[in-house]
Amino acid sequence: MSLYKEHMKTRPKIEDIIPEFVGGSLQKQLLDFVAWMQKNKMKLGIAGANLWNAKCKGKSIFGVALGRDYGRNNKTWGVSLNLNNLAKYEDDVINEGLQEIVWRYIRYCAHCSRCTPGMDMALLGKEFKNICSGLILFINDPDEIMLNGIKRLIELEKQVRVNAKSSCYKRKEVNQCQSKKPSKKT
């Protein structure tokens, strides 16, 4: 049975799998991150082989991948952030000095079916071309300082999602905004 099928069948908790795929100081940092998620009521659900996902308002807010370093050394991990509402808290990101994380780790379009052909966008005062439409960051083996920035970005995104009635992100040509229509009372 493939690892994907096994994980989808058994639905393992990430903390049970971490020792098999992440070692040393990286393991401690990841376990601390998992403890932070649990403290903040962010449940990770299995999303694939060595891949877990946390959702907020029904949409992915971040994911954690284990051992995905493409053959270099299997003892690694990464976190992906889905910052779809970044435009709504960009002042906070700039004021807290977190823009370098966004600029450095923005994911560019890889021509998957979801975002092809990518988009051009201004993020936190800097122009980017051909970035993934999901406004995703991917960070491998974050250190403690980086993890603090990641946690803060997750908190900001979650706060907007919980309090907002719409999900928006700025597009250079078009402002895509999916406002929820008020439900009709019967």
Which of residues 157 and 169 earns the better pLDDT score? 157
Is the residue at 56 inside a domain? yes
Provide the domain count of the chain.
Answer: 1
User: What tens digit of pLDDT does each residue of 122-160 get?
Assistant: 889 999 888 887 668 889 889 899 999 999 999 999 999
| 185 falls within a domain | no
Whether 86 is in a domain gets the answer yes
Question: Which of 67, 82, 94 shows the shortest CA–CA distance to 131?
Answer: 82
Q: What pLDDT score was predicted for residue 146?
A: 94
Which structural domain, as residue segments, surrounds residue 97? Answer: 3-179
Tokens, residue 121: 């966008």
Question: What is residue 131's predicted lDDT score, i.e. its pLDDT?
Answer: 86
- Confirm whether 184 is domain-assigned: no
Digit-coded pLDDT (tens) for 35-93: 999 999 898 999 988 889 999 988 899 999 987 554 455 678 999 999 989 999 999 99
Strand duo 166-170 + 136-140: pairing: unpaired
Instruction: Tell me if 122 is assigned to some domain.
Output: yes
DSSP three-state, residue 57:
coil
- Residue 131 CA to residue 82 CA, distance in Å, equals 13
**72 located within any domain:** yes
Confidence at residue 186, expressed as pLDDT on a 0 to 100 scale: 39
Identify whether the C-beta of residue 97 lies closer than 8 Å to the C-beta of residue 117.
Answer: no
pLDDT of residue 113: 64
Per-residue pLDDT of 89-100, as tens digits, reads: 999 999 999 999
Residue 119 lies in a domain: yes
Confidence of residue 115 (pLDDT cuts 50, 70, 90): low
Query: Which tokens sit at 66?
Result: 């284990």
Q: Is residue 69 part of a domain?
A: yes
